[in-house]
Structure 1
Amino acid sequence: MFQPVVDLVQGGIYGHESLIRGPERTVLHSADALFAEARRQGLATRLEMLSAQAGIATFQQHGRGGYLFLNMSATALLQSWAQHGEGFLQALLAGVPLDPSRIVIEMTEHDPVSSRLPALMDVFAALRRWGLRIALDDYGVGHSSMQLWAEARPDLVKVDRYFFQGISRDETRQKLVKAILATAQCLGTPILAEGIETQEDLQTVRDLGIRYAQGWHLGGPASEPLTQVLAPAQAALAARQASPSFGRASNTAASLRVQAPAVKVGRHTNDEVHRLFSEHKNLHAVAVVDEDDRPVGIINRRDFSERYAQRYTRELFGRDLCSRFMNAQPVLVDQHTSMDQLSRVLVSEDQRYLVDGFIITCEGRYDGLGTGEALVRSVTEMRIEAARYANPLTSLPGNIPISQHIGALLEQGAEFVTCYGDLNNFKPFNDVYGYWRGDDMIQLCADTLKQHCDPLRDFVGHVGGDDFVVLFRSPDWQARVQAAIAQFNRGAIDLYDEDGRDRGGIEAEDRYGVLRFFPFVTLSVGALLVGPAPSAGRIRPEDIASAAAQVKHKVKHGSLSLVTERYGQSLVL
Structure 2
Amino acid sequence: MSAAARHAIQQPERRLPSAQSPVDLHALQANFQPIFNLATGALHGFEGLIRPPRDSGLCSAFELFALARAADMSIELEQAAAQTLVRRFTELGLRGTLSLNFSCDTLLHLGAAPEQVDTALREIAHLGDRLVIEVTEQDVAEDVGRLVAAIDLLRHQRGKVALDDFGMAQSSLALWIQLQPEVLKLDRFFVAGIDGDSRKFETVKAIVQLAATLGSEVVAEGIERIEELIVLRDLGVQYGQGFLLGRPSADPVSELPAKVWEALGNRAIAVFPEPARIGPTIMRVDRVLNEAPCVGPTTSNNELLRVFHHHPELTAVAIVSDDGHPVGVVNRRSFIDTLSLPFHEELFGRRPCTLFMDTDPILIERSASFDELADIITDEDQRYLYDGFIITENGRYVGLGTGSALVRMVTENRIEAARYANPLTFLPGNIPISRHIDRLLQSRSGFVACYCDLDHFKPFNDQYGYWKGDEMIKLAAACLTQACNPLRDFLGHVGGDDFLVLFQSDDWQHRLLAALEQFRLRASALFNDEDRARGGIEAEDRQGRTAFFPLTTMSAGALCVHAGHSLSHEKVASRAAAAKRAAKQGRILLHVEEA
Give the TM-score, by structure 1 length: 0.48
Structure index of larger Rg: 2
Give the TM-score, by structure 2 length: 0.46
